[in-house]
Structure 1
Amino acid sequence: MSEDPFAERMKRLEERLAAAHEQRKEPERRPNEYQQGSLAWRMVIELVVGMVLGLAIGYGLDALFGTQPLFLVVFALLGFAAGVRTMLRTATEVRNRRGEGALMGPPPGNSDTDPEGPR
């Protein structure tokens, strides 16, 4: 007797499934490029938002109290400082491989790329 017809049908089905699976595969992406770009934009936005909020609060207080440039200057500087602080916190997250920066590099403790060695 020849081969079992059920086994032949199963073999053809597996081949068709494998071919369909190959067609549905998405092309490989390079996530590091997109990740670094999004991280850079995140840091820029954090700085700008800090500045804008400081300016808005300062202008509002100046308009409320009638002290034109005083609060505007003070809160603009505070907003800038807050934006820089937030950017530094984001940089620390990336360095510690948390948050958005988790996919940007090898895991911590990889002695091949980490000059400090394992942690």
Structure 2
Amino acid sequence: MTGTPPAHFALAKAVAAVPQGAPVPAAEIFAHGTMKLEFYAPDGVDRQQPHAQDELYIVQQGSGVFLRGEERFGFGPGDALFVRAGVVHRFEDFSDDLAVWVVFWGPDGGEAA
């Protein structure tokens, strides 16, 4: 490994990294091995598709309903939401200020239980 990976990821820089008008308003902030840190701030409708890796959402701000497979549950700031690779999921009925950190990791298809 060359150099030391960064240890701090500022919210303001993550927000600024999201491309304006992108169909999926997200930006990769950091990658290390199989792990990726992204910032996601959907605008009105969450159009994401299932992902190849397991993922963890950490809600920075906002609230709403999260769909994971057949489950639906409320979420708010500070909550963490786990989704296995390949599972249909999305944010629904969410506030205009929704902003989440997303951590992807592991092999395509997800890790064994």
TM-score range relative to shorter protein: under 0.3
Normalised to the residue count of structure 2, the TM-score between the two structures is 0.18
| Higher relative contact order, structure no. (Cα contacts within 8 Å, ≥ 6 residues apart) | 2
- 1 or 2, which has the higher strand percentage? 2
Mark the structure with the bigger radius of gyration. Answer: 1
Normalised to the residue count of structure 1, the TM-score between the two structures is 0.18
